[in-house]
Amino acid sequence: MSVPVSVWAPAAGEVVLHLPAAGTTAPMVAGEGGWWHSPEPLAPGTDYAYALDGGAVLPDPRSPWQPHGVHGPSRTFDTGAHEWADAGWAGRSVLGAVVYELHVGTFTAAGTLDAAVDRLDHLAALGVDMVELMPVAAFPGSAGWGYDGVALYAVHDVYGGPAALQRFVDAAHARGIAVCLDVVYNHLGPSGNYLGAYGPYFTDAHETPWGSAVNLDGADSAEVRAFIIDNALRWLREFHLDALRLDAVHALIDDSPTHILAELSDAVAALEGEVGRPLSLIAESDLNDAVMVTPTAEGGLGMTAQWADDLHHALHATVTGERHGYYVDFGPAEVLAKALTDVFVHDGTFSTFRDQVWGAPVPPDVDGRRFVVFAQDHDQVGNRALGDRPSRVLAPGQLAISAAVVLLGPGTPMLFMGEEWGATTPFQYFTDHSEAELARSVSEGRRREFGTHGWAELYGRDIEVPDPQAPQTLAASRLDWDEPARPDNARLLRFCTDLVRLRHTEADIASGDRSATAVRVADDGTWLVLTRGAIDVVLNLAQTPARVPLEGVGEVLLEWEPVRGTDGPDGTWADVPGHGVAVLRRS
């Protein structure tokens, strides 16, 4: 089926279509609102590009495919050509789902979407409900995290291109697994970003950590907003995706009467009604404010869920003892208890790291499943100096504790690839920039970034920050699929699988009712009991055995090490081994 191509270039006096394979050009036809249209539709698989007012030949801002890299011509793609096999797929909301974040390039040795399909049976056996792909929008070079993407409508060719994403989604749905895609609308990468040549996509009226902000509220911003909303709807409709994770939405600065997130939320809700299956939006927000997940009809931004970093910080600081950087306000078990019950640790309280009061309380009636929680993710692992995982320093029992907190708490749990077996491979920051100056800047910037953070003191030795441009940095970050069969790793994998099973089968654990969640902490902080309805999750945070008082022992649903429960005249308690976990149903 031939594909018409169009481009928005409101200030251009002339736009010429270039067809490099044929060696021909044709003038585009001017339309309304600054749009230009091809005189004839193009066949699928046709390479094309544009030149504005006799300038350089540039790729299409809405290119579906960049097989020649982000600086080369675009290629047409017929999204309707795929014969979908998921007609029976009813969809899956993110609320309460067991989410699994993965990076396509390091999830397998081949680093492609088709290779990732071969590991979907592992995820299905684990009980994963939703896979979250780190960004696949085309970015410079062959390797990277994807947060410097510049062709937001294209699927990175090294991963297999757009057809491979359709195959992956179809294969996941066949196994009962929903698919979420991480999308980045708050900035574009520095290499291959040609949007500014076409129109006012950026504005100096606002600043972000990446420079000029996306133009969401200035002159001609209506088409910029449409660029974002059309992109989101395209992934959900034409690629059958179930959810989108929106990167760093606090950097989407918008003073319009209707915030872009609220507009997007309403548009996705309308599409949800059209396709007849749940569609979710998940916001990464640093604001610690439940307005993010408040319905638009109530004045909120309407996101289905948002990432909640505070549980990660509290859990990581508790089990590792780290207190540097933003962990300075975290660590005691009481802080972990607050994160489990109140969602945000900083909820209108003073943040030492930010040096200001931060956040707002979460209303008690807000469903806990609105908050995605985790013990690891790409940021919290990859933005450490060595990209090392908690498995570098934690005992197997401490990894079991972390998994239990995330998978049995009231939030929507997320695992980071390999976490389920205690992967020891790091996840480091890697890039593949061909421009020598940019490559040098990235490498030197990474070294400077970690030069003053006290990492040598933390690691107990001088460290060499991995060079993002070095091939071995990418190679070291690939998962080792031999690990899950090793005894300690296999044991943790079985335990995580059992935790997921409890989440799927026990209504008290699956519930997001925060009023039915309570936490008791030992006076000395050595143990913690998380109560979810009639179920107690007993965690011994210490290395030595602990006697934990309980209201009733009842049935043991799961334990990391054997736990002995006793009913006596002085009360009921459980004797829990060091770094032990026990999940008990009260009698």
Give catalytic status of residue 247 as yes or no.
yes
For residue 343, give every residue at least 6 positions away whose Cβ sits within 8 Å of its Cβ, in sequence order, or none. Answer: 290, 308, 310, 311, 362, 366, 368, 371, 411, 514
For this structure, is 506 an active site residue?
Answer: no
* Residue 382 labeled ligand binder: yes
458 in a known ligand binding site: no
Question: In terms of residues, how long is the chain?
Answer: 587
**End-to-end Cα, the chain, rounded Å:** 64
Annotation-wise, does 246 bind a ligand?
yes
Which of 230, 329, 315 lies closest to 271 in space, CA to CA? 230
**Cα–Cα distance, 200 to 151 (Å, whole number):** 16
Q: Is 381 annotated as a binding residue?
A: yes
- Would you say 383 is a known binding-site residue? yes
379 is in an annotated binding site: yes
CA distances from 529 to 12, 118, 514 (A): 65, 39, 15
* The one catalytic residue among 60, 132, 247, 329: 247
Q: Is 324 annotated as a binding residue?
A: no
- 378 labelled binding-site residue: yes
Confirm or deny that 250 is annotated as ligand binding.
Answer: yes
487 by Cβ neighbours in 10 Å (0-12 / 13-18 / 19+) ranks as exposed
- Considering the candidates 60, 284, 536, 559, report the single residue annotated as catalytic: 284
- CA 129/CA 173 separation, integer angstroms: 10
Asked if residue 480 belongs to a known ligand binding site, the reply is: no
561 neighbors 525 (Cβ within 8 angstroms): no
Helix or strand (DSSP H, E) at 371:
strand 371-374
How far apart CA 567 and CA 404 sit, in angstroms, is 25
And the tokens for 2?
Answer: 């031939």
Per the annotation, does 311 bind a ligand? yes
The answer to the question of whether 52 is labelled as a binding residue is no
Sequence-distant contacts of 511-514: CB under 8 A, at least 24 apart: 511/410, 512/95, 512/96, 512/367, 512/368, 512/369, 512/370, 512/410, 512/411, 512/412, 513/367, 513/368, 513/410, 514/341, 514/343, 514/364, 514/366, 514/367, 514/368, 514/410
Answer yes or no: is 346 a known binding residue.
no
Tell me if 493 is assigned to a ligand binding site: no
Does 53 appear as a known binding residue?
Answer: no
Cα separation, 366 vs 259, in Å, equals: 22
Catalytic amino acids? 247, 284
Binding site listing for substrate: 245-250, 309-313, 378-383
Binding site listing: 245-250, 309-313, 378-383
